[in-house]
Amino acid sequence: MITTTHDDGSTSQHNDDGSGSFTGADGSSATYDADGGGSYTGADGSTGTYDADGGGSYTNADGSSGSYSADGSSTHTDADGNSHSMDAEGNGSYEGADGSSGTMSADGSYSHTDADGNSSSMDSEGNGSYTGADGSSGSYSADGSSSHTDADGNSQTMEADGSGSYTGADGSSGSYSADGSSSHTDADGNTTAYEAEGNMGEGDQGMGAMDQAFGDDTAGGDMASQGDAAGDAMDEYTAEKDAKEMPAEGGKEAPDTFGEVAQDDGKPEPEEEDQSGAI
């Protein structure tokens, strides 16, 4: 056994079997065995152990701790109580001091639940789902399609091309297409449809708009007045038309040359026989 005291006040001891120890001037210390394992205590109170295979464990002065293995797996708990672990393949899990938790895989998939109970998950291809603590839920796909139902029961879906549909908790429903066309049926059964160009299609609400524009008087009272107004407008139009067609010279019409030509066909008129002298 060989003991050495260093200039800084630290000492070390080496045994014949290959084991040894060390004590630092700052109060730290360490031991090691002949196989390559050992332990240490830092001046701040942190401690650790390690084995000949590369594994070990540690406890830090702040209360955090962990372990590790030669294959790459590990665990760790921080000073606040959050912890996580990982295996040799890269898969892991974690737990938060607030109650949250989750898992992760080497292929990129994961799951997570937060402190409020909201949860989500996603696979390695980008498809996922979620559930809210309020009862809402949904899913999504890597191609862009998705579905969602809120806490009140309203739901909607969307396809990868941008088209979709929805259903309201009040019984309303509708659909929409990527080209801009859509339809909607409200809780009372009124339906409105819009074409891709923005034109309103047939539906109860379309008829309602017509009724509002032209007046919906089932008793017929307003319709009579509208008929009178239409008649007055027609009379005014006819008067203006007649005034435009009136000849300019005091009401004297131009000669009907076409009529005269039609009457004069160029043949001489036969002479009237003098029946009085014909015997």
pLDDT in tens, 103-127: 999 999 999 999 999 999 999 999 9
6, with CB counted inside 10 A (0-12, 13-18, 19+), is: exposed
Q: What is the pLDDT of residue 88?
A: 97
Q: What is the pLDDT of residue 5?
A: 87
Q: What is the pLDDT of residue 217?
A: 44
Mean pLDDT over the full length of the chain: 81
| pLDDT < 70: residue spans in the chain | 198-279
pTM: predicted TM-score of the whole model, two decimal places: 0.63
Residue ranges of the domains in the chain?
1-61, 136-215
Distance CA 91, CA 104 (A): 6
Distance CA 185, CA 276 (A): 97
203: DSSP letter: S
Q: What is the pLDDT of residue 199?
A: 66
Task: Count other C-beta atoms under 10 Å from residue 200's C-beta.
Answer: 12
CATH for 1-61 is 2.60.450.20
Distance CA 122, CA 172 (A): 31
Q: What is the largest CA-CA distance in the chain?
A: 187
Distance CA 179, CA 82 (A): 49
